[in-house]
């Protein structure tokens, strides 16, 4: 009877914290910072543990060999998604790629993504845009260094808007950029584990007064309304543009050309566009802000990496993706940023399509399977002094992340910031280039230091504490902070503005601005 009683941990499941009858471990889940609790439990219960949420099972993976065995080698079993009522029914109201189970619709969307974000296309086309947008980011820092929270967001959003819709984001005040980040803040708060009642486990919560649970239904529907109001006008604009001047070489035009053939509804296309803008805008921007935090906290590292950049690039041009092989220290900084403060510390949960087993332990059909990225990245047995920002831990692994993600040997994996298995981020090639280009150019151009408090004359330290320094939500984004960003020389400043003028003439003219 113990194995079938709701809330109990049945025989054969991975170990885990003690359960309360009927509800299991519900009351032990924090409303924020779930990745920190998972990492604490991993120390107590081992590299794989289970939680009971009512009658459902959640399995949390905390070691590289288990990631390889479960999510990579058995990806056909463990690549479904949990049924998340709030997301599917209240916010999205359609087939969003992030929430689709493996099947024809998911494969169709993945093929469309691959057409746009494969390595060849990134190498031949997208890096040109990324280089130009990064140059504008440098120019923007020169003109308004105090707006440091905005410039990385504009950079990453403009890249995605240009690739997906053929529309640039010229300034952080652009309506579509402000709308996107407002939507993402709301979505992140809603989707964090523990932030809303577990209606997928206890359906009765759907019928109780929502005021008992912080008006979760109204909040969810409001986030969904933001999504529709944001994307519908942008898609309508592209359709009108097609009717007026024909197709541009952007993702949406490519999809619209195939809409009838692929049987895509208008809602399918809206959610596909949204998935790309959401996934590509917030993560890259947050990582660039985390990079700035790391440079504030570890100025000696900044100086050492700048010395390598200076020896390779000089002052009369800024670094580009073509310099990757000659700037291994920049690659190491990128990897360490992704390890040290991963933006998605628990990734997005997988689900078991059928019953499975690992080392004699059961993973029942329908179980939620969580990749604890934070725990993997902060395991002292794998990363010595994991709380310290130390790029030199990657001195023997400086190739781009896709090279290690596809390795058959789990020991070669550099980090898990892009996920694992069939659900690995489809934009990994683009993201690697965007981060390298952005970070390399910033290190080449600027001295990043702690600002001085005018009242005390003392430096204002940056808060990088995992609990207090980051916004609450599914994504691990820095709270607003201050930094002094100064151009390293007038010669570099002239180079920045010269390259920006060239970007306007040679790159930006191919895209619209709203």
Residues making up the annotated binding site are 425
Tell me which DSSP letter residue 341 carries.
S
Angle subtended at Cα 85 by Cα 84 and Cα 91, rounded to the nearest 5 degrees: 100
Q: Which two tokens stand for residue 211?
A: 């005021």
Tell me which DSSP letter residue 459 carries.
B
Say how far apart CA 97 and CA 116 lie, in whole Å: 15
Q: Which two tokens stand for residue 350?
A: 């997988």
Which residues in 69-216 belong to E strands, given as ranges? 167-168
Q: For the chain, what is the largest distance between any 2 Cα atoms, rounded to a whole number of angstroms?
A: 76
Residues making up the binding site for heme: 425
Report which of 494, 499, 469, 512 is spatially closest to residue 134, judged by C-alpha positions.
499
Buried b / exposed e over 296-312, threshold 16 CB at 10 Å, is bbbeebbeebbeebeee
Identify the residue whose tokens are 């399995």. Answer: 59
Q: Which helix (H) or strand (E) holds 300?
A: helix 299-313
Cβ neighbors of 192 (< 8 A, separation 6 or more) are: 31, 32, 34, 472, 473, 474
Q: How far is CA 22 from CA 212, 365, 496, in A?
A: 20, 20, 62
Q: Determine contact, residues 51/57, Cβ cutoff 8 Å.
A: yes
At 24 the three-state DSSP class reads strand
């Amino acid at each position: 009877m113990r194995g079938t009683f709701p809330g109990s941990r049945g025989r054969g499941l991975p170990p885990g914290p003690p359960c309360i009858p009927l509800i299991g471990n519900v009351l032990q889940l924090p409303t924020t910072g779930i990745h920190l609790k998972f990492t604490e439990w991993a120390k107590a219960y081992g590299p794989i543990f289970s939680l009971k949420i009512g009658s459902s099972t959640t399995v949390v993976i905390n070691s590289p060999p288990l990631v390889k065995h479960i999510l990579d080698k058995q990806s056909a079993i463990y690549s479904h998604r949990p049924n998340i009522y709030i997301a599917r029914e209240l916010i999205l109201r359609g087939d969003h790629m992030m929430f689709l189970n493996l099947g024809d619709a998911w494969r169709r969307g993945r093929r469309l993504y691959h057409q746009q974000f494969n390595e060849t296309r990134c190498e031949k086309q997208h890096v040109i845009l990324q280089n130009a947008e990064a140059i504008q980011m440098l120019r923007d820092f020169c003109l308004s260094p105090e707006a440091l929270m905005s410039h990385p967001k504009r950079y990453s959003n403009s890249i995605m808007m240009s690739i997906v819709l053929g529309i640039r984001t010229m300034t952080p005040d652009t309506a579509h950029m402000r709308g996107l980040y407002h939507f993402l803040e709301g979505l992140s708060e809603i989707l964090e584990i523990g932030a809303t009642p577990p209606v997928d486990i206890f359906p009765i919560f759907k019928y109780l007064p929502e005021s008992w649970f912080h008006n979760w239904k109204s909040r969810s529907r409001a986030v969904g309304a933001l999504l529709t109001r944001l994307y519908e006008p942008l898609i309508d604009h592209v359709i009108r543009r097609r009717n007026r001047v024909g197709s541009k070489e952007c993702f949406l035009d490519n999809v619209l050309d195939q809409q009838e053939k692929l049987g895509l509804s208008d809602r399918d296309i809206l959610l596909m566009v949204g998935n790309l803008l959401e996934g590509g805008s917030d993560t890259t921007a947050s990582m660039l802000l985390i990079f700035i935090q790391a440079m504030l906290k570890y100025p000696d590292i900044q100086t050492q990496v700048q010395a390598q950049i200076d020896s390779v690039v000089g002052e009369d041009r800024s670094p580009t993706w073509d310099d990757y092989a000659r700037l291994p220290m920049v690659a190491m900084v990128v990897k360490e940023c992704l390890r040290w403060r991963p933006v998605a510390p628990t990734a997005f949960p997988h689900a078991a399509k059928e019953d499975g087993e690992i080392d004699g332990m059961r993973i029942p059909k329908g179980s939620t399977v969580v990749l604890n990225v934070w725990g993997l990245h902060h395991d002292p047995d794998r990363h010595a002094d994991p709380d310290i920002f130390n790029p030199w831990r990657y001195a023997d692994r400086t190739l781009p992340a896709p090279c290690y993600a596809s390795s058959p040997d789990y020991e070669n994996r550099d980090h898990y910031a892009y996920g694992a298995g069939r659900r690995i981020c489809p934009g990994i090639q683009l993201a690697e280039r965007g981060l390298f280009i952005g970070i390399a150019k910033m290190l080449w151009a600027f001295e990043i230091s702690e600002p001085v408090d005018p009242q005390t004359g003392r430096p204002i330290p940056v808060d990088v504490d995992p609990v207090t320094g980051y916004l609450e939500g599914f994504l691990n984004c820095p709270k607003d902070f201050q930094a002094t960003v100064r151009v390293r020389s007038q010669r570099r400043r002239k180079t920045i503005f010269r390259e920006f003028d060239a970007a306007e003439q040679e790159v930006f003219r191919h895209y619209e601005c709203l």
